[in-house]
Amino acid sequence: MISTETPLAPLVFQPLDPATPGRPLSAIQEEILRLKRERNAVLLAHNYQVDEIQQIADYVGDSLGLSYKAAETQADVIVFCGVHFMAETAKIVNPSKTVLLPEMDAGCSLSDSCPAEKLAAYKAANPGLYVVAYINCSASVKALCDVICTSGNAMKIVSRVPADREILFVPDQNLGQWVAKKTGRRMRLWPGSCYAHVLYSVRNIEAVKVLYPGAPVVAHPECVEAVRDMADVVCSTEKMIAYCRENQADTFIIVTETGMINRLRREVPGKRFVAGPTDHCGCNDCRFMKMNTIEKVRDSLAGMTPQVELPEAILRDARAPIQRMLDWSR
């Protein structure tokens, strides 16, 4: 909500590194590439990872693209540079592989907002609901759901749910509200949110629009409705690349985690990307995503630890709703 009392903080735009093509690799990056070859490992990185990691990843993408890559890989080891629920998803879709997560404490506020016991109790008290879970949830929660979705396919998935079933959407109320509005499908919404995306406010986006008149606002659906309503496009991180490439504008205001700008600068050269500011800074780093560092990636591959392990029953029960998503969104 817009406060009329607090004065507007001065906007300071974080100077990010310029685009990286051609920049020589550091010794530690070279070491990771050597270890990767020795271990027959694949390095998958989310769009929010630091540039040094993105630069040497085999694939950089959104949750949906990363799930497909994890399912398809022939490598023996998956080094997952993202957060815990993403690495768990990689293990679920490819359980015979070793999955390394450089920082085991890299969690997610959305995932934390929906503990499996609470969801199980809610389902028991409200039988018959069709549970659609945003992929940002734990493996134990996935095991309780009917189908998974990501921000890249949520509308497609929700549209496929049988019309006579009432939907419970967990755990992101903002993404759920956006999908409900777009599809016209009424849904019960779990009251979770991403701590980073709800920091964007109408006031701050208005202020940055004044500085860059005409620049399209590109926002992630985890933002609150008032911010989404100001955006020229609301989409997953992967779709942001295509939008900025195809749009004629030369400057874009990017309202999602700051790491996204690394990839945009590499893959859409010649255009300017301005990080959407919050009250706290002219950027918005997810504290969980940024727990992975290049040193931790090296240590993880060198020591083959920490590894993601899941109980057999969770692996089995969580696989079906993820597989349904992969099938429905092809």
Residues at the site binding ligand 13P, with contacts judged by CB under 6 A: 47, 62-63, 136, 150-152, 194, 220, 222, 236-237
Q: In the chain, what is the straight-line distance between the N-terminal and C-terminal CA atoms, in Å?
A: 38
Q: What residues have CB less than 8 Å from 36, skipping those under 6 apart? A: 42, 43, 79, 301
* 63 belongs to the binding site for ligand SF4 (CB under 6 A): no
**Least gap, CB of 147 to ligand SF4 (angstroms):** 19
Render 163-224 in DSSP notation, one character per residue.
TTS-EEEESBHHHHHHHHHHH---EEE--B--TTGGG--HHHHHHHHHHSTTPPEEE-TTS-
Q: Which does 288 bind (CB under 5 to 8 A by kind): ligand 13P, ligand SF4, none?
A: ligand SF4
Q: What is residue 289's DSSP assignment? A: G
Q: Which segment (19-27, 49-57, 65-73, 107-115) binds ligand SF4 by CB under 6 A? A: 107-115
Q: What is residue 311's DSSP assignment? A: -
Q: Which of 286, 294, 308, 310 binds ligand SF4 (CB under 6 A)?
A: 286
Q: Which of 43, 78, 108, 322 binds ligand SF4 (CB under 6 A)?
A: 108
**Least gap, CB of 309 to ligand SF4 (angstroms):** 21
| Closer CB to ligand 13P, 260 or 301, in the complex | 260
Render 141-171 in DSSP notation, one character per residue.
HHTT-SEEE-TTTHHHHHHHS-TTS-EEEES
Q: What is residue 247's DSSP assignment? A: S
| Closer CB to ligand 13P, 144 or 194, in the complex | 194
**Least gap, CB of 213 to ligand SF4 (angstroms):** 28
Prior bond to 127 cis, omega within 30? no
**Least gap, CB of 257 to ligand 13P (angstroms):** 6
**How far does CA 262 lie from the centroid of its chain?**
15
**Least gap, CB of 197 to ligand 13P (angstroms):** 6
**Least gap, CB of 151 to ligand 13P (angstroms):** 4
**Residues 61, 81 contacting (CB under 8 angstroms):** no
* 81 belongs to the binding site for ligand SF4 (CB under 6 A): no
Which chain residues interact with ligand SF4 by CB under 6 A?
A: 83, 108-110, 136, 194-197, 222, 257, 286, 288-289
